[in-house]
Amino acid sequence: MPVTHRLTVAQAIIRYLQNQFIEIDGVETRICGGGFGIFGHGNVPCLGEALYAVQEELPLYRGQNEQSMGFAAAGYAKYHLRQRFMFCTASAGPGTANLLTAAALAHANRLPMLMLCGDTFLTRLPDPVLQQLEHFGNPSLGLNDAFKAVTRYWDRITHPAQIIQSLPAALATMLDPGDCGPAFIGLPQDLQGWAYDYPAEFFEKKTHRIRRVTPDADEIADAAAALKAAKRPMIIAGGGVQYSKAVAELTAFAEAHQIPVVESIAGRANMLATHDLNTGPIGVTGSDSANVIAEEADVILSVGCRMQDFATGSWTAFAKDAQLISLNAARHDAGKHMSLPVVGDAKLGLLALGEVLSDYKAPEAWTAKARAERVKWDAYVVENVAPGNRPNSYAQAIGVVNDLCDPRDRIVAAAGGLPAEVTANWRTLDIGTVDVEFGFSCMGYEIAGGWGARIAQSEQESGHDTIVFTGDGSYLLMNSDIYSSVLTGKKLIILVLDNGGFAVINKLQNNTGNESFNNLIADCPTVPAPFAVDFESHAASMGANAETVANPGELAEAFKRAKAADKTSVIVMKVDAYEGWTEGGHAWWEVGTPEVSDSEKVRAAHEDWESTRPKQRQGV
C-alpha cells in the first residue's frame, strides 16, 4: 500500500514548505526563509498549531501590521534576488485585507511572496461570521477574491487534496523568471483543520533551480543586426540584470562593444559609479548625462527593464525613430513599444548577443560623449550634496551617508521625493546595494522593507548595515517596524528627513500652476494650529536609539554613532520643503493638467506641459 501521512491541511502546507529547497551558487538552502504573521480567529487555531512545531526551520516573525508584513517580505525577496521568499499569514477579514497593498507592490515589482490567509467556512453553517462580507446574490464571493487583481497565482482551497496541486503551482509561479510575483492561497477556517491522507512523496525533499530561458536564435540575430548598424547605441540596465545574476555579463558586454550604459530605478547598482561606461540613471528621476545620451541614441538595448514611465520620461526620453531592443525573461515586457523582442534570460541573452556582434564597437566619439556627459553630471552631484550656507536638503543627507557608509551597506527608500533624490545623487559603492521601491511607488515601504532586507542580510552578511531613508509623511503612515526591528534584534539605521508634510507632491502642485493646498501641514485649511511631531521621542518610545540633528555636519556625527550602535537608530533632521531639490536630470513626465481653469498660472502650466507632448513616442 502507498505510504501516506494523515495531516490537517495546515500541517500539510507547512510540511511541504519545510521540504522545498533551492540551489544557489552550488549551495542548497530552504527556499522559504520563514514567515511574517499576525494571528486571528482565521488562522491561529490550525495554521498557528502547524507553525508552532517548526519554529526553528521556518521562523515566524510577529508583525505589527499586515501591510508592513508584506512590505518586509518584498524587501526580503529583493535582497535574495527573488531566489528565496517569505510567507505572510493573516486572519480572515480585515487582517487579510491589509495585505492588498503589499500584494500590489510585489506584483508591480515582480517579487515572490506567498500569502496564506483565512477564509470563510466552507460549510457556511455559521454564516454570516465575524468580519464576513456578504454578497446577497453570490455567496461564493468574498474579500479574498479582491486579490485576483494583484497576484500572479490565486486559489481558494475547497478540499484537502487540492493543495497537492496548488502548492507546487504557486511555487512554480514564484520561481518563474517571466511570471514571478505574489501567490495567494485562501484557507477556509474549517478546512484548515480537516485531515487527509497525503501521499508521502508530496513531502519528500525537492531542490529547485531558477529556469534560464535560452533566447531564440532568430531574435538574437535580429537584435544583433540592429546593433551592428548602430551609430549611437545605448544600454538600459534594469532590475532584471541583478535577478538573473548577469551583472558581470552586462559589464563585459558593454566593455567589449564600448556601449554606454544607463540605469533604471530598479537597476541602480548594476554598475559602480566609477565605471567609465556608467552614464548615470535615466528618466524623470535620472541624470542629465543619461537623458542627453538617450535623446540621441539610435539603437537602445533594454536589458531586464519593464520600461516604466519614469524610465522612459512617459516615452519622451528617446528619439521617435530610435530602434528599441528588449531583452527580457517576460514576453510582455520584451514586446513593449514595438521593440525587437528577445525573450529570454539576461545572462544567456547577453552572451549570445556578444557572440553574434563579434568585434563590433560603438564609434569612439559617441562613447567619449557619454563619458564627458557623466563627468559633468558627477560635478553637479558633488555640488548638490555638499553642505553649505543653504537650507538642509535630501541631497545633503544622501551625500553624508554616501561618504560614511560601508560599500556593502544596503540603502532602502520608497515613494515621495526620496526615490528621485537617491536615484539621482547616490554614487554606487558596490553592486546590488540599492533598493529604491518605485515599481508601485508605495509610501510606508521604507522601514518595513528595510526590516525584511535586514532579516535577509543577517542570513548572509555580517558587519554591514541596512540604511533607510524616509520622509516624515511615510514615517507617519507606517513606522511600527521600528519596534519590530528592536524586538527581533535586526538593527536598522533610519534617517527621518522632515519637510513638514508631503513636500514632493506640493512641489508638483506648484509646478502645475496650483497653489499649495493640503500637502504641507502648514497649508491644510482644516489644521488650525500646526505643530511639529517629536519623531525622536516617538522612535525612542519603540526602543530605538534616537536623536535629532540640526544640519549635515551633526548628521555625520550621529550617523557614526548609529554605525557603532548595536540596535536600531533613528536620526531626525528637518529639510526645506521648497529649496534644495535636485533640479537637474529630469525628463518630461505625463500628468493630467486642467485644460480650462480660472487661474492664469494653471492655464500657463498646462500649455507648457503640453508643449513637450509632440516628443512622445506612440506605441504599445
pLDDT digits (tens, 9 = 90+) for 179-190: 999 999 999 999
Same domain, 79 and 16: yes
Residues paired with residue 495 on neighbouring β-strands, in sequence order:
469, 571
The one-letter amino acid code at 471 reads G
Q: Residue 612: which pLDDT band, with cuts at 50, 70 and 90?
A: confident
Q: Do residues 519 and 506 lie in contact, with contact meaning Cβ atoms separated by under 8 Å? A: yes
Give a yes or no: residue 565 inside a domain.
Answer: yes
Range of the domain at 161: 4-208
Give a yes or no: residue 579 inside a domain.
Answer: no
Closest CA to 620 of 340, 341, 337: 337
Residues 315-325: tens digit of each pLDDT: 999 999 999 99
Counting Cβ atoms within 10 Å, is residue 3 exposed (0-12), middle (13-18) or buried (19+)? exposed
Strands (E), 455-591: 466-471, 493-498, 545-549, 569-574
Strands (E), 272-322: 278-281, 299-303
Counting Cβ atoms within 10 Å, is residue 55 exposed (0-12), middle (13-18) or buried (19+)? exposed
Q: What is the pLDDT of residue 615?
A: 86
Same domain, 187 and 229: no
Chain position carrying cell 552614464:
279
The residue-averaged pLDDT of 504-529 equals 95
Give the other-Cβ count within 10 Å of 613's Cβ.
11
Give a yes or no: residue 244 inside a domain.
Answer: yes
Same domain, 182 and 251: no
Range of lowest pLDDT (258-262, 539-543, 607-611): 607-611
Same domain, 475 and 618: no
> Is 258 a residue whose pLDDT tops 80?
yes
Residue finishing a domain among 377, 401, 431: 377
d(CA 432, CA 430): 7
d(CA 483, CA 64): 8
Element (H, E) at 28: strand 27-30
**Model-level pTM?**
0.97
d(CA 348, CA 250): 11
Q: Which three cell numbers stand for residue 131?
A: 468580519
Same domain, 449 and 541: yes
d(CA 198, CA 168): 14
Residue finishing a domain among 323, 342, 377: 377
Residues 460-472: tens digit of each pLDDT: 888 899 999 999 9
Q: Residue 619: which pLDDT band, with cuts at 50, 70 and 90?
A: low
Same domain, 311 and 333: yes
Same domain, 536 and 398: yes
Same domain, 414 and 347: no
Residue finishing a domain among 162, 185, 208: 208
Give a yes or no: residue 168 inside a domain.
Answer: yes
Tell me whether the omega of the peptide bond preceding residue 419 falls within 30 degrees of 0, making it cis: no
Q: How many residues does the chain have?
A: 620
d(CA 54, CA 300): 50
Reduced to 3 states, what is the DSSP secondary structure of residue 126? Answer: coil
Same domain, 142 and 173: yes
Give a yes or no: residue 524 inside a domain.
Answer: yes
618: left (phi over 0), alpha (psi -120 to 50) or beta: beta
Same domain, 102 and 130: yes
> Is 620 a residue whose pLDDT tops 60?
no
Same domain, 340 and 265: yes
The residue-averaged pLDDT of 18-39 equals 96
Residues 395-445: tens digit of each pLDDT: 999 999 999 999 999 999 999 999 999 999 999 999 999 999 999 999 999
Q: What is the pLDDT of residue 405?
A: 98
Q: Do residues 327 and 346 lie in contact, with contact meaning Cβ atoms separated by under 8 Å? A: yes
Average pLDDT score over the chain: 96
For residue 201, give every residue at least 6 positions away whose Cβ sits within 8 Å of its Cβ, in sequence order, or none.
Answer: none
The one-letter amino acid code at 373 reads E
Q: How many domains does the chain have?
A: 4
Same domain, 138 and 247: no
In the chain, the percentage of residues whose pLDDT exceeds 90 is 95
